[in-house]
Amino acid sequence: MTHPEPAGRFPFSAIVAQEQMKQALLLNAANPAVGGVLIRGNKGTAKSTAVRSLTTLLPPIEVVAGCPYSCNPGTEIDQCIHCIADPDGEVVQRPVRIVDLPVSASEDRLVGSLDIERAIQSGQQAFEPGILAAAHRGILYIDEVNLLSDHLVDLLLDAAAMGRNYVERDGLSVTHPASFILVGTMNPEEGELRPQLLDRFGLMVEAESDFSRDDRIEVVRRRVGFEADPAGFAEAWEPRQQELRGRLAEAQALLPRVEVPDAIMEAVAAICEDHGVDGLRADITIYRAASTIAAWNQRQRVELDDVRDAARLALVHRQRRQPFQEPQLDQQRLDETLEQLGNTTRERDPHPPRAGDRTEPEDDPGNQPPPPEEGGQQPPTDEGATEDSDLGSEDAPDQAPAPIGASPPVRVPESRRRRDRRSRTAAGRSAATLTDTRAGRHVSSRPASEAPTDVDLVATLRTAAPKRLARARARTPSLEPSDLQEKVRETTTARLVVFVVDASGSMGARQRMEATKGAILSLLVDAYQQRDRVALITFRGDHADLVLPPTNSVERAHRELAHLATGGRTPLGSGLTRAHELIEAERRRDAGLATLLIVVTDGRANSGATTGSPRDAVHAAAGALALVADDALVIDTESGFVRLGEAQALADLLEGECVTLGEPTAQSLEASVRAMRSR
- Identify the CATH number of the domain in which residue 169 sits: 3.40.50.300
Question: What dihedral angle (degrees, nearest 10) is formed by the CA atoms of 668, 669, 670, 671?
Answer: 50
Better-scored residue on pLDDT, 464 or 433: 464
- Percent over 70 (pLDDT), the chain: 73
Residue of higher predicted confidence among 119 and 293? 293
> How far apart, in Å, are the Cα atoms of 410 and each of 339, 376, 662?
48, 71, 10
Q: What is the pLDDT of residue 371?
A: 43
pLDDT at 326: 57
Q: Is 21 domain-assigned?
A: yes
Residue ending a domain, choose from 471, 491, 511 = 491
pLDDT above 60 (res 519): yes
- Residue 269 sits in which domain range? 258-349
CA distance 518 to 561: 10
Question: What is residue 286's predicted lDDT score, i.e. its pLDDT?
Answer: 95
- Higher pLDDT: 354 or 87? It is 87
Q: What is the CATH number of the domain that holds 340?
A: 1.10.8.80
Q: What are phi and psi of 263, to 5 degrees?
A: -65, -35
Is 514 in the same domain as 452? no
Q: Is residue 381 part of a domain?
A: no
**Is the domain of 552 the same as that of 643?**
yes
Q: Is the pLDDT of residue 531 over 50?
A: yes
Q: How far apart are CA 223 and CA 381, in angstroms?
A: 5
Pair 464, 531 in one domain: no
Other CB atoms within 10 A of residue 146 CB: 24
Task: Please give the pLDDT value at position 198.
Answer: 84
Per-residue model confidence (pLDDT) at position 282: 92
Q: What angle do CA 645, 617, 400 make, to 5 degrees?
A: 75
Residues 136 and 103 in one domain: yes
CB 28 within 8 A of CB 183: yes
The predicted model gives 39-51 an average pLDDT of 89
Q: How confident is the prediction for the chain on average, in pLDDT?
A: 77
CA separation for the pair 340, 334 (Å, rounded): 10
Across the range 66-80, mean pLDDT stands at 74
Of residues 30 and 667, more confidently modeled: 30
What integer pLDDT is reported at residue 327 of this predicted model?
Answer: 59
**In terms of domains, do 267 and 300 share one?**
yes
Instruction: Establish if 177 belongs to a structural domain.
Output: yes
Most confident of 391-395, 469-473, 627-631: 627-631
Do 542 and 668 sit in the same domain of this protein? yes
pLDDT at 218 over 60: yes
pLDDT of residue 356: 41
Is residue 439 helix, strand or coil?
A: coil
Range with the poorest average pLDDT among 382-391, 448-457, 524-533: 382-391
pLDDT at res. 321? 54
Residues 54, 169 within the same domain: yes
* Burial of 296 from C-beta contacts in 10 A (0-12 / 13-18 / 19+): buried
Asked if 577 contacts 511 with a C-beta cutoff of 8 angstroms, the reply is: no
Confidence band for 457, pLDDT divided at 50, 70 and 90: low
Pick from 504, 643, 499, 619: nearest CA to 571 = 504
Instruction: Tell me the CATH number at 515.
Output: 3.40.50.410
Secondary structure, 3-state, 1-60: CCCCCCCCCCCHHHCCCCHHHHHHHHHHHHCHHHCCEEEECCCCCCHHHHHHHHHHCCCC
Is 429 labeled as catalytic in the residue annotation?
no
Per-residue pLDDT tens for 627-673?
988 889 888 877 655 567 888 899 999 998 888 866 677 777 777 77
Q: How confident is the model at residue 491 (pLDDT cuts 50, 70, 90)?
A: low
Output 469 or 417, whichever has higher pLDDT: 469
Same domain, 181 and 263: no
- At residue 640, the pLDDT reads 55
- Residue 69 pLDDT more than 90? no
Q: Is residue 385 assigned to a domain?
A: no
**Do 584 and 644 fall within a single domain?**
yes
**Residue that is last in its domain, among 349, 369, 399:** 349
In a domain, 162, yes or no: yes
Predicted local confidence at residue 222, as pLDDT: 95
Cut 0.95: pTM above it = no
Catalytic residue among 9, 194, 221, 281: 281
| 425 or 579, greater pLDDT | 579
Contact 662, 637 (CB under 8 A): yes
- Segment 97-102 mean pLDDT: 92
Q: Which residue has the higher pLDDT, 374 or 101?
A: 101
Decide if pLDDT at 253 tops 90. yes
pLDDT of residue 407: 34
% residues pLDDT > 90 (the chain): 27
Q: Is the pLDDT of residue 380 over 50?
A: no
User: Are both 516 and 479 inside the same structural domain?
Assistant: no
**pLDDT tier, 193 (very low <50, low <70, confident <90, very high otherwise):** confident
**Is residue 470 a part of any domain in this protein?**
yes
Overall average pLDDT of the 304-317 stretch: 92
pLDDT for res 397: 39
Max mean pLDDT among 62-76, 331-345, 400-414 falls in 62-76
The verdict on residue 554 lying in a domain is yes
- The pLDDT-based confidence of 488 (bands split at 50, 70, 90) is confident
The Cα diameter of the chain in Å comes to: 92
Q: Are residues 476 and 618 in the same domain?
A: no
pLDDT band at 417 (very low <50, low <70, confident <90, very high): very low
| DSSP secondary structure, 155-167, as one string | HHHHHHHHSEEEE
> 256 or 491: whose pLDDT is higher?
256
Please give the sequence-ordered ranges of beta strands (E in DSSP) within 448-494, or none if there are none: 485-492
When pLDDT is cut at 50, 70 and 90, the band that residue 426 belongs to is very low
- Which is higher by pLDDT, 158 or 440? 158
Instruction: Evaluate whether residue 605 is within a structural domain.
Output: yes
Span 137-141, average pLDDT: 93
132 has pLDDT over 90: yes
More confident residue, 559 or 535: 535
Q: Which of 1-15, 59-73, 351-365 has the lowest mean pLDDT?
A: 351-365
Contact 242, 250 (CB under 8 A): no
Most confident of 300-304, 320-324, 537-541, 627-631: 300-304
pLDDT of residue 393 exceeding 70: no
Question: Between 673 and 352, whose confidence is greater?
Answer: 673
Q: DSSP states of 523-562 as a string?
A: HHHTHHHHTEEEEEEEEETTEEEEEEEEE--HHHHHHHTS
Domain match, 521 and 625 both: yes
For the chain, the domain total comes to: 4
Whether the per-residue pLDDT at 468 is higher than 90: the answer is no
| Domain-terminating residue out of 328, 349, 370 | 349
More confident residue, 116 or 138: 138
More confident residue, 173 or 259: 259
The one-letter amino acid code at 451 reads A
Residues 293, 310: Cα–Cα separation, whole Å = 8
Q: Which residue has the higher pLDDT, 567 or 3?
A: 567
Question: Which has the higher per-residue pLDDT, 506 or 174?
Answer: 174
